[in-house]
Chains A and B, each alone.
Chain A
Amino acid sequence: MDIDLDEKEISILQLSDSFFPTGLYATSSGLEALSQTKKLKSKDIFQFITMQLQQVMGPSDCTAMGYAYESCKKKDIVSLLRADESLYYMKLIEETRIASTRSGSQLLKCVSTFAKNNKILKDYQIAIAKGKATGVYAVSLGVVTSCLDIPKKKAGMMLLYGLAVSIVGAALRLGIVQHFEGQKIIHELGPVILHAVLENIDRPLSSMWQFAPSLDILQMKHEALSSKMFIT
């Protein structure tokens, strides 16, 4: 039995578990905004998440995560901060931007309690404390997965799987899908997640993009609403 591999697999399970404290359960990635139009049906959820993965989270978050991961391996804090800044400014919705930095900083804080003496992890946290970095979630995940020696592509799958599950969880709580439907959707998203990781994890930071203008506008309206369950 390969003990090292087993330990890494445990880290993958631990960080991918919705029980891991990052606050992602409080975000719907635009789903609540869309559900309030009353036009959203359960059959649309798969398509909605696919669009998020292909148009937003894949080419932006996953790309930034891959770049951050490599920066950590090279112990290059300057490149890491570039990934942090690029992703932060790519998030157009203020609430989403803030929520992402809060989730990311808590992820770093939690992992630093058991991944001790890691210089790049410490340096990144110091940069956040000094206001030189934001701690945006995907970059923070790139940092901790690199520090824990989790393979990069698996780290990419953890990121996109986690974000997809958080949207399905939101759909469940909004009453759009029921629990078995939710699991079926997660299962069917497997190839979409895999493809989005392979397509984006090694993308140069300069080619990072995201494009979902209708959803952006809907979310901007949603974040101003006084009655809502989710961070937009």
Chain B
Amino acid sequence: MGSRVPRVGIGGPVGSGKTMLIEQIVPILSTKGYKVSIISNDVISKEDAQRMRQNLATDKGLMPEELVIGVATGGCPHTAVREDPSINLSVVEELESKYPFLDLILIESGGDNITTTFSPALADYFIYIIDVTGGDKYPRKRGLGIENCDLLVINKIDIAPYVGADLKIMERDAKIVRGSKPTLFVNSKTGKGVNTVVSFIIKDVLFDALPKSVNSKEIE
């Protein structure tokens, strides 16, 4: 069995931008030398896993294709990452065993509702992503995902004016609901704010550790 690789769970409603956030995060981490694998939980389609495999592995060559894995959830996306994460844990353990050079595993949940959370046995850090199109009332509606995640990401801020969402209200309500836990506003389409998401991952998940490949070179 390989050593434990840090894991970040990324959850959020359908269409909130989970996949696109990952597509922005991975190249930044890759540039810094971190080796990443992605597990994508499907609800009814393998499209997200296939898209990330194509974009990040095949086209950009940032990782081997086999490091993007799709997991079928039988229509139970929250079960697969919370109550019974057996299949995901099994895939994680296989990755840890086969690819000991990995620095990080990103686990994307299937699109779900605001009660999504990750089992602490599966993910060390939980990012929950929503977008402004649900309206600026979204954070104050609470839900386990918004309340409990380590980092709340509010996406698609560029279209806030067109859907009548006031970002200041969202920021205020997020603070009320989440206390001191961080909330970030991003535009995953352009990459605005994504560097800060990566900074949180490096600081709070990897504890500012250098990539394993750099460490092993230093030892040599």
- Chain A interface (Cβ within 8 Å of chain B)? 19, 21-23, 25-28, 99, 101-103, 105-107, 110, 129, 169-170, 173, 226-231
Chain B hits for A27, CB < 8 A: 74
Task: Tell me the bound Cα distance from A105 to B87 in angstroms.
Answer: 10
A-B contacts besides A25-B76, A105-B90, A229-B44, 8 pairs, CB < 8 Å: A21-B83, A21-B86, A26-B72, A103-B90, A106-B89, A110-B86, A226-B46, A227-B44
Task: Tell me the bound Cα distance from A103 to B83 in angstroms.
Answer: 14
Chain A hits for B87, CB < 8 A: 23, 26, 99, 102-103, 106, 231
Q: Is the CB of B86 within 8 A of A28?
A: no
- What 1/0 mask marks residues of chain B from 186 to 207 whose CB sits below 8 Å from any chain A CB? 0000000000000000000000
Of the A-B pairs whose beta carbons lie under 8 Å apart in the complex, a sample of 14, sorted by A's number, is A23-B80, A23-B84, A26-B72, A26-B80, A28-B74, A102-B91, A103-B86, A105-B90, A106-B89, A173-B75, A227-B44, A227-B45, A228-B44, A229-B74
Task: Tell me the bound Cα distance from A45 to B25 in angstroms.
Answer: 45
Task: Tell me the bound Cα distance from A77 to B23 in angstroms.
Answer: 46
Q: Most A CB atoms within 10 A — which of B47, B74, B87? A: B74
Tell me if B219 counts as interface (CB < 8 A to partner A).
no
B contact residues, total (Cβ < 8 Å):
26
Q: Closest approach, in angstroms, between the C-beta of A166 and any C-beta of chain B? A: 9
- What 1/0 mask marks residues of chain B from 48 to 92 whose CB sits below 8 Å from any chain A CB? 001000000000000000000001111110011001111101110
Q: Is the CB of B43 within 8 A of A229?
A: yes
Q: Most A CB atoms within 10 A — which of B80, B90, B93? A: B90
Chain B hits for A22, CB < 8 A: 84, 86
Task: Tell me the bound Cα distance from A27 to B86 in angstroms.
Answer: 13
Q: Is the CB of B74 within 8 A of A26?
A: yes
Chain A hits for B72, CB < 8 A: 26, 228-231
Chain B hits for A169, CB < 8 A: 74
Q: Is the CB of A229 within 8 A of B75?
A: yes
The 4 closest A-B pairs by CB, nearest first: A102-B90, A26-B74, A106-B86, A23-B86
* Of B74, B79, B90, the contact of A106 (CB 8 Å cutoff): B90
Q: Is the CB of A21 within 8 A of B84?
A: yes
Residue of B with least CB distance to A107: B86
Residue of B with least CB distance to A227: B45
Task: Tell me the bound Cα distance from A75 to B126 in angstroms.
Answer: 43
Q: Most B CB atoms within 10 A — which of A19, A102, A103, A110? A: A102
Chain A hits for B43, CB < 8 A: 229
Within 8 A of A (CB), among B78-119: 79-80, 83-87, 89-91, 93, 97
Task: Tell me the bound Cα distance from A231 to B41 in angstroms.
Answer: 12
Residue of B with least CB distance to A104: B90
Chain A hits for B75, CB < 8 A: 173, 229-230
* Of A101, A102, A105, A230, the contact of B74 (CB 8 Å cutoff): A230
Residue of A with least CB distance to B43: A229
Task: Tell me the bound Cα distance from A21 to B80 in angstroms.
Answer: 10
Task: Tell me the bound Cα distance from A134 to B132 in angstroms.
Answer: 46
- What 1/0 mask marks residues of chain B from 161 to 172 whose CB sits below 8 Å from any chain A CB? 000000000000
**Contact A226:B86 (CB < 8 A) given known A25-B79, A173-B75:** no
Task: Tell me the bound Cα distance from A230 to B74 in angstroms.
Answer: 4
